[in-house]
Structures are given as C-alpha cells and as structure tokens.
Structure 1
Amino acid sequence: MMSLLRSDLQVALRDLHLALQESVDHYRDAAEFVHQQSAAAAFTAIAQQREQLADTFAQAIRAADDLPSVPDPELESGEQFINHLTNLFAADEIDGLREQRLEAEQRLEALLHSPDCAALREQQPALQAKCEADIKRARERLQAL
C-alpha cells in the first residue's frame, strides 16, 4: 500500500528515475537534431542504455511501494529549444552537443552523490553502482565523438 509520505529511499529513487528519463529524452532529441550519422547513432545508443537503467529504477520504485513519475514535457521542450539555439551558434555542432551532454552527465552524477540520495547509497548500493557505470559509459562514448 502506498503512503502519502515517502521514505528517503523512495524520494531518491524517484528523483534519479526522473533525471534518467529526462536524460533519455534529451539524448533522443540530440540524435534527431544532429546531422552526423555516427553522432546520432551514439546518442541513440546512450538513450537506449539509459532507458534500460530508468526501467530498473522504475522497478525499484514499485518494489518500494511507490509509483514512478514522468518528466514535465513543457519544461523538457523549453530545455531542448534552448539547446537547439545554443547549437545553432556553436562553431561545431558535435562539440556543442557533446559539451551539453557531458554537463548533463555531471549534473546526474552530482545528484547521485548528493545528500538527497544517501538512502540509495546505503540501501541499494548495487543500483547506485549501475548508475555510476552508466554515467561512465555515456561519458566515454561522448568523449569518443
């Protein structure tokens, strides 16, 4: 039975799940926006891998007697619009997209290591390790572009 009050673990899982879903959406948007086929393939691959991780978090949320949430589509559309504008003025489209995604990976990692996610580190260290590994793979793939 779900409670109106969420535990620290439920809050951490929901925050990270939401951030992962937003990341998937941004990688998919980048894949559609970019003209270089190899970069589009890399963004799509990262999105697919990240979506699997988000699904794992959704399952953990349900196991903790809560329901996953979904990103705000209006907020995401605004962020994507700003990203598109920024890249229109970038000297190199790939460099601009790579830098945006690397910054997003840094924010995701900061959230993962924030005090708000301490319960995840304590109660679900394997899930935290999966997330850290996913961030590392995404960074490596981005740096290889």
Structure 2
Amino acid sequence: MNAADILDLARMRGVMIATAESCTGGLIIGRLTDVPGSSRAVDRGFVTYSNAAKIEMLGIRPETLDAYGAVSEEIAAEMASGALKRSQAGIAVAVTGIAGPGGSDHKPEGRVCFGLADAWGIRTKTVDFGAIGRAEVRLATVDHALELLAAALRKD
C-alpha cells in the first residue's frame, strides 16, 4: 500500500501518525510527508539513531537496552509506545535494526525489529531481510513499516 492510501486511512480513522526510527533515519516519515496534504494525518517523526536519543526522546529504559540491546523487539515496543505517548498521534510505528554492513551471529545484517502502538496495544515483529545491502534493507524496512501501519488502520 502506498503512503497516500495510508494517510487516507488515518484521516478516515481520525488519527494522526507518528514514527520512531533508528535504522531508517527518517525515511518512513519522509515517505509519508512526500504526499501533499500529509499534515492532516502526520503528527511527527522521531529519528533516534543513538541509544541516548532513544532514552531522551522516547523514554526508552536503559535497563531494557542493557538487557536486550538496541536491536530487539523489546526496544521496538518501547520506541513505539514512547512515540505514541510523546505525540498527538493515535498510532505509532517504530523500527530498529542492522541495515549493514556488519552484524553478528546473534543479530545478523538485515535484521529489523518493528513496533506498532495504537489504541489496541503494542505489537512487535522481527524480520530478517538478509544481507541484501544497506540501502535495500532500509527501503524494505520502510515498505514493511507502511504495511504494518496500513494493516492496523484497516482494523475494525
């Protein structure tokens, strides 16, 4: 689903959208705000690349970072929740991952954790896009985040 359709869904639902982005560096909010009139459905985007930014801007708990690391569903959940609480949005999507190059056996290149927060709670998901290249992982992450938003906004 494209960004314009997602914005239409948000407007029909009467909710604003917020994003909390690490590995995408603002590409999700950028895709949404590329659409004319997006200000009627987009509240804000948090680009929290560093752990300090995640803590300061989104209220991520340092103990969660210590226990699970920045690339984890636990952090994605706290990022989405923090974006929802610190905005006027009714739905927030968050992403944190390893775009590459690099990674480890435990957290390979191409792994991205997603969080989605709305009135129905917080959901998380991990997707391993593989070592397809930094730009490709970031673009795949944007597309997947938009699909998550669309699915949540279509919910009854």
TM-score normalised per structure 2: 0.33
Larger radius of gyration: 1
Which structure is higher in helix share?
1
TM-score normalised per structure 1: 0.35
Which structure is higher in strand share?
2
